[in-house]
Structure 1
Amino acid sequence: MKITLNEKVDKYLIDGCMRCKYGGTPQCKVNNWREELELLRQLVLETGLTEELKWGVPVYTHKGKNILTVAALKGSANMGFFKGALLTDKHKILQQQGNLQSDRIVRFTDTSDIHRLKTILQEYVLEAVQIEVSGKKVVSKKNPEPIPEELQQAFEDDPAFQQAFYALTPGKQRGYIINFSQPKQAQTRIGRIEKYKEQIFSGSGLHDKYGK
């Protein structure tokens, strides 16, 4: 099988997503997990998926449909499945990110774990493709903490932002949700979300900068 690498993903592995102030600097979280990300990239490409860069992060697709991401968060390198909640997960390796109902991720902090799970991960990738081809959808349950419509739209427009948000602790998530929900005007709520995007991408809570 011929594997085609995407030059934009090559750049991501050097500079990161460029969504926060640390992009292209030694402080970028990609620098902590580059070897793990490259291994994950290779094993996904071996399954025949198409490599693209969307929302600043590597996304792997099948016939134009998003299947998974390979990206770095502050504490790990991750393989994230867009419809992970529908995977059988017989090996119990998937984790939910906060209140995110559809996506599931596998976290890695060591290349040895990726090598050990390579065959299993590729099985999960192929199952995820089958799920997408079948047309199955995740049925969402009502969220205990109401998400403002503008934040939900921001998630739909930018899944990388959604992943960064749900990588925060539940307390940090709640702080942002309350803050974003307060304004009466939709445009003001949108403005607040945009204002704090960089802070969320860097893994900080609403008031973290005041405590430093």
Structure 2
Amino acid sequence: MNKQITDYIDKQVNYKEELLLLRSILVNLPLKEDIKWGIPAYIYNGKNILGMSSFKSYVGLWFHQGVFLKDEANLLINAQKDKTKGLRQMRFSSITEIDKNLVREYVLEAIENCTAGKAIKPTRNTKPVIISAELQKSFDENKILEDAFYKLTLAKQREYAEFVFTAKRENTKISRIIKITPLIIAGKGLNDKYK
């Protein structure tokens, strides 16, 4: 058993018993335990199968490719309709709601689906990078900044460009450019510190 997950569960205020029960089911399956995104993750052959966490009103399992599960017991929900494509959640608000055999069946089916290669592949954001006049002016005045910007990934370029472009006032756009210049030159993304 992974000590990080034991520590994670020990720190929980809500649903500690439920987390322990769910973990007891998961550790007896051919899954590797790890911590990803700050929560327990269960992995099969290098692929994320599911995560587990507690919240204020429920404890949940979410299946990364849950859209492919049959869900004959009608336990899965899509927490963000029209946004989430593959992820499906299984929620429990008390230990009595957890059917060990049913949870086990869903996880085994998720492993089978993984083995069969069933997966929704992420789609690339093809939205163009819109460079505001103020940002272009900064590029014209500072070639190091421009070169560093275009060495970034498209996603990072898009983050910075939108950060500047969405400001309403010109002064705000200029102050944002001043703020992001050292980050761009350092090759960092706008939101790297949150990732």
Into which bin does the TM-score normalised by the smaller protein fall?
Answer: 0.5 to 0.7
| Contact kept in structure 2, 1:102 and 1:140, CA below 8 Å | no
SS in 2 for 1:32: coil
The equivalent of 1:112 in structure 2 is 96
| Contact kept in structure 1, 2:19 and 2:59, CA below 8 Å | yes
Instruction: Give percent identity, aligned residues only.
Output: 30
Q: Mark the structure with the bigger radius of gyration.
A: 2
Q: CA deviation at 1:182?
A: 5.3
| Equivalent residue letter for 2:97 | D
Give matches, 1:1-212, under 5 Å.
5-15=1-11, 30-98=12-80, 99-114=83-98, 117-138=99-120, 149=155, 183-184=164-165, 191=190, 193=191
After superposition, what is the alpha-carbon deviation per residue over 1:186-211, rounded to whole angstroms, capped at 9, x for unaligned? 979x54x568x6xxxxxxxxxxxxxx
In the alignment, structure 2 segments of 5+ residues that lack a partner are 124-154, 166-176
With structure 1 as the length reference, what TM-score do the two structures score?
Answer: 0.58
CA distance in 2, matches of 1:78, 1:102: 16
Aligned residues: 144
Distance 1:183 1:52, change over 3 A: same
| Contact kept in structure 2, 1:101 and 1:140, CA below 8 Å | no
CA RMSD of aligned residues (A): 3.2
Distance 1:139 1:63, change over 3 A: closer
With structure 2 as the length reference, what TM-score do the two structures score?
Answer: 0.63
CA distance in 1, matches of 2:84, 2:16: 25
The equivalent of 1:201 in structure 2 is none
| Contact kept in structure 2, 1:96 and 1:105, CA below 8 Å | yes
CA distance in 2, matches of 1:45, 1:132: 18
CA distance in 1, matches of 2:121, 2:43: 22
Distance 1:41 1:183, change over 3 A: farther
SS in 1 for 2:76: coil
| Equivalent residue letter for 2:4 | K
CA distance in 2, matches of 1:121, 1:102: 18
Q: CA deviation at 1:183?
A: 3.6
CA distance in 1, matches of 2:119, 2:50: 15
Q: CA deviation at 1:44?
A: 1.3
Q: CA deviation at 1:49?
A: 1.5
Structure with the larger RCO, 1 or 2 (CA within 8 Å, 6+ apart)? 1
SS in 2 for 1:58: strand
User: After the TM superposition, which of the residue ranges 95-104 and 126-135 deviates more from structure 2?
Assistant: 95-104
CA distance in 1, matches of 2:90, 2:164: 36
Distance 1:107 1:127, change over 3 A: same
| Contact kept in structure 2, 1:77 and 1:107, CA below 8 Å | yes
SS in 2 for 1:100: coil
CA distance in 2, matches of 1:182, 1:113: 45
